[in-house]
Chains A and B, each alone.
Chain A
Amino acid sequence: QVQLVESGGGLVKPGGSLRLSCAASGFTFSNYYMSWVRQAPGKGLEWVSYISSGSTNYMSHADSVKGRFTISRDNAKNSLFLQMNSLRVEDTAVYYCARDRYGSGKGPFDCWGQGILVTVSS
């Protein structure tokens, strides 16, 4: 079955870095745009970044993370990544890896990982 499994979260100090990974299985990963969506504690959903399918690797990031976060993928390893630098307290959230149904980078998201918690605190 279709499955997305995130890893790499944890506690980091402001200004620090983390790299999230998402392992995909059960579908042809390279055919799909993929996104990261986050949810701050007790809050709603916020799209963070997307990357195009195939080998073109077009990407886009929300203004709130632009210049600090970078999305990437390795189709040979069915993996999605999010490199997060210069982390801020307000980046604290559960980060979800999500599959884009339509291949636009904007959604809708028809499959989600279980989420991974990133806590930025001194």
Chain B
Amino acid sequence: EIVLTQSPGTLSLSPGERATLSCRASQIVSSSYLAWYHQKPGQVPRLLIYDASSRATGIPDRFSGSGSGTDFTLTISRLEPEDFAVYYCQQYGSSPGTFGQGTKVEIK
């Protein structure tokens, strides 16, 4: 199965700053079938990005995804207070679909 490694483990930033999260796959992710989710404490995961760069319904344009092959990036252009959460990448190009271990974005 494809192993996804997210970095950094924790990102400490202030509101208004730019966040760059990385997701590296152990094998090529077919068709850039890579998604990003965030999960706020005590809440349910929410789909942010699918197909590496397409925003899900209702997701603001400060969230953007990029990458292909084995290297993918989620960028949050200006952090809002509600963006401090754990972020997971997930590949769905190969079975089984697998998740990364998560990156926590915390308030500095």
Contact = CB atoms under 8 A, between A and B. Distances in A.
Contact of A108 (B50, B100, B101): B50
Interface in A74-122: 96, 101-102, 104-110, 112-115
A47 interface: yes
Given A44-B102, A45-B99, A47-B98, A110 B92 contact: no
Interface residues of A, number: 21
Interface centre among A47, A107, A114 (most CB of B within 10 A): A107
B98 A110 contact: no
A41 to B, nearest CB: 12
- Give chain B's interface secondary structure class: loop
Interface string B66-108: 0000000000000000000000101011111111111000000
Contact of A112 (B46, B90, B93): B46
A104 B96 CA distance: 10
A43 to B, nearest CB: 8
Nearest to B48: A108
Given A107-B92, A108-B92, A113-B44, A44 B98 contact: no
Interface string B30-46: 00010101000000111
Interface string B42-57: 0011110010000011
Contacts of A108: 35, 47, 50, 90, 92
Interface of A: 37, 44-47, 60, 62, 96, 101-102, 104-110, 112-115
Give 3 nearest A-B pairs by CB, closest first: A106-B97, A106-B92, A107-B92
